[in-house]
Amino acid sequence: MSYCWRHFGFPIAGLAESAASMQRTVRRTFPGSVVIQDANAVDAAALQPPSSSDSVSNSEHATSLPVRPPVKIASVYGGIPCQPIAPSGAARGIDDPRIGDTTDALPRATRALDANSADAENHANIVTINGGAVLAKLTANFGPDYELVDVSYVNVALYYAPEERNRVALRWEHRRMRRALGPCPPLFILRHPQLCIRDVLLPLAE
């Protein structure tokens, strides 16, 4: 999704990634972005480059480096963890001890940054598991200023991958967006006729 935002001209202010090996890849791919270790620690202060709080000093004087001005965040995107949701992770849903990673980090970051919107993708089970309780908790964590405006399904069977991999795209918007622009139009997924998903579960579909 970060590639998509960048393709359409949006600068990527920061990315959250805990794995050191992936952090190196992210830094090479998005050299102007701040890499944040913990997705639960995303806020305006975390988007400051590390050098902004350092000081250059010697025995005679000390000079503080300038701090990056606050940036307005248009949207926060989360590839939120699917382990508590997907069948391969036992699909325990709300009873999974890891469920907080799925339902808490994205809303917390969105509120902390006062973003206009938030987008997420996950296993399609997130909509129905526990009678919708996981999605309800995720949406409630955004607070009253945000509303769930779109749920779009992606049937990966159309792209030669097993339906166990079906995905759902979710979008929340700050209510000021509705006041300024009207209701969010239905989102859609562009379908490329040559797209073919290579999936490790493909033999299971045969």
Instruction: Write out pLDDT tens, residues 126-180.
Output: 888 899 999 999 999 999 999 999 888 877 777 666 666 678 889 999 999 888 8
Cβ-proximal residues to 19 (8 Å cutoff; 6+ apart), any chain: none
- In order of 46, 100, 152, 172, the CA distances from 85 in angstroms are 29, 12, 17, 20
In residues, how long is the chain? 206
pTM of the model: 0.76
Instruction: Write out pLDDT tens, residues 35-71.
Output: 998 888 899 888 887 654 444 434 344 444 455 566 7
CA 110, 112, 113, 114 dihedral sign is positive
